[in-house]
């Protein structure tokens, strides 16, 4: 049965569950399912930080999400409130807050919790990956 499966990631990028979320998404796509959106909340918001640089012999989940999302049209949505508490900012907010730089990783968008509520309503499954 083909399903719409949305993901909620609240694990930080360096936690095991963040890596498991990525593998789950790959398997869901390989299984013929649609993954319309991954919502990054809580410590998961750090996924959207373009300056993450894990050790070279370890996983780089942000980079992997960018590739996967680009190939399959998945929306990578970072909650704005969670992001600001954790130092992730897009260009618009940086300008408004008079910060000289922004650091949202390409491929990610910043938005509100309504994007989570939407997939609660529309997706057939919501699978969550806490830290």
Partner 1 sequence: MKHVLFIQHCAPYGSESPQEQIDALLVAATFGLRVALLFQDDGVWQLLSQQDGKQLERRTLGAQLQALELYDIHDLYVDAASLDERGLEVAELALPAKVLDEAGLQQLVAGHDLVLRF
Partner 2 sequence: MTTTLHIVHKLERGRLPGALRRSFASDDSLLLTGDAVYAALSDRRELPGHCHALGDAVRARGLLPQWPPEIPLIDHGGFVELCVRYDKSLSWG
Q: Which residues bind a second copy (CB under 8 A)?
A: 12-14, 43, 46, 49-55, 81, 84-89, 93-94, 97, 99, 101-103
Residues 6+ apart with CB under 8 A from 95: none
Residue span binding partner 2 (CB under 8 A) among the ranges 24-32, 62-70, 86-94, 95-103: 24-32
Single out the segment in contact with partner 2 by CB under 8 A; choices: 27-35, 52-60, 83-91, 92-100.
27-35
- What distance, in Å, lies between the first and last C-alpha atoms of the chain? 30
DSSP string, 37-106: EEEE-GGGGGGGBTT----TTS--HHHHHHHHHHHHT-EEEEEHHHHHHTT---HHHHHHTT-S---BPT
Q: What residues between 96 and 115 interact with partner 2 by CB under 8 A?
A: none
Note whether 80 and 92 are within 8 A (CB): no
Cβ distance to partner 1 smaller for residue 91 or 120: 120
Q: Which is nearer to a second copy, 29 or 52 (CB)?
A: 52
Helix (H, G, I), strand (E, B) or coil at 31: coil
Which positions lie near partner 1, rule CB under 8 A?
Answer: 8, 10, 14-16, 19, 41-42, 55, 57-59, 81-82, 85, 112-114, 116-118, 120-121, 126, 128, 130-131
Q: Hey, which residues are catalytic here?
A: 79
């Amino acid at each position: 049965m083909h399903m719409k499966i949305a993901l909620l990631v609240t694990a930080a990028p360096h936690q095991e569950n963040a890596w498991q979320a990525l593998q789950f998404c790959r398997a869901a796509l390989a299984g013929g399912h649609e993954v319309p959106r991954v919502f990054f909340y809580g410590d998961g918001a750090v996924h959207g930080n373009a300056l993450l640089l894990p050790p070279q012999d370890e996983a780089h989940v942000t980079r992997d999400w960018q590739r996967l999302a680009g190939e399959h049209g998945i929306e990578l949505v970072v909650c704005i409130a969670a992001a600001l508490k954790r130092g992730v900012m897009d260009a618009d907010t940086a300008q408004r807050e008079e910060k000289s730089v922004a650091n949202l990783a390409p491929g990610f968008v910043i938005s509100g919790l309504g994007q989570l509520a939407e997939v609660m309503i529309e997706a057939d499954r919501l699978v969550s990956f806490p830290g």
